[in-house]
Every structure is written in C-alpha cells, then in structure tokens.
Amino acid sequence: MPNVQFQLNGAATAVDADPDQMLLDVLRGRLGVTGVHFGCGAGECGACYVMVGDRAVASCDMPMWSVAGKDVVTLEGLGTAEQPHPLQRAFITEQAMQCGYCVSGILISAAALLKRNPSPTEAEVRAALDRNLCRCGSHNRIVRAVLRAASEIAAS
C-alpha cells in the first residue's frame, strides 16, 4: 500500500493506505480522529467535513490519493478548551446546538467561511452552511454564533 503524506491539524502525518480509501475511514478508523463524524457516506450531509486550505470538504468523499500533500484540519485542530477558536467560544455562548452531532462539520464549514470572508453577512453565512444538514433545528442559533465569532475576530 502506498504511503500517503499530508498535514493533519498542523502535524506531518504519514499513513499507508489504499489510494481509493476515503479520508474519513482513515481519520476515524486508523488515526482515531473522532471529531469527524459519519453521517451519510455520500457527501450529502456535511457531518464529516474537514478543512482543506480555505474550503470545507466531505471527507467521506475524498479518496486518499487526493489527500497527499494537503493541509487537512478537523475539529480537533480548530482549538482547545484552553485556547478555543472564536467559533468554539461563540457556539458555547449561543448554546448553538441540540444534539451537536452535525456541529463538528458545521464548525469546519464556518471556519472555512471566516478564512475566505472574515465579515460575512447573515445571508452569506446561511449560504456557506447550506450543505450542512441539522435535524434538531438549531440553524438560527448556529448562524448567530458564526456572526458572533466573526465580530469577535474583527474586534481583535
């Protein structure tokens, strides 16, 4: 099996993997990264999003051959309780979830958006999150939290 090298949450990572295996399987099954969630396996729900550059990408639909050399960020790489990302702080402040299963992918979509566009409008936030499904109906809290994080970043 070829050795695939990439950056995972800022750390150089090498893993022997079938080039056609999906990144999600490798992250969860081989590397123990549980901040990426399986939802549909078809790139339709966003629960498994990782950030590659400034884009949110479905890791269930990203074969390992395409990961080589990329800079991949999962929820684990966003921040920690000690040093939270403004989005993580804002999601706690806004209590922006019910079950929270989809939130790992939504935080990634939001982080990628803020990289591309640090001061999005509400409509831009909604458009950026449109590929992330939430079944509990926490959408509006989530949008508020993203806007809060954006204004916090702008103020800092």
Tokens 């790139």, residue?
Answer: 43
Q: How far is the CB of 137 from another protein (least distance, A)?
A: 3
Any idea of the CA torsion for 44, 134, 115, 146, to the nearest 10 degrees? Answer: 170
Q: Are strands 49-52 and 11-16 parallel, antiparallel or unpaired?
A: unpaired
Query: Which residue number, 37 or 57, has a Cβ lying nearer to another protein?
Result: 37
User: 57 vs 90, which CB is nearer to another protein?
Assistant: 90
Using alpha carbons only, how large is the chain's radius of gyration in Å? 15
Cβ at position 112, least distance to another protein in Å? 15
Tokens 């000690």 label which residue? Answer: 82
| Residue 6: partners with Cβ closer than 8 Å, 6 or more residues away | 13, 67, 68, 69, 70, 71, 72
Nearest approach in angstroms of CB 9 to another protein is 10
Q: Which residue ranges make up the site for another protein (CB under 8 A)? A: 21, 25, 28-29, 32, 34-35, 37-42, 44-45, 47, 74-76, 79-81, 84, 88, 91-92, 95, 97-104, 107, 123, 125-127, 129-130, 132-143
Minimum distance, C-beta of residue 59 to another protein, in the bound complex (Å): 14
CB nearer to another protein: give 57 or 88: 88
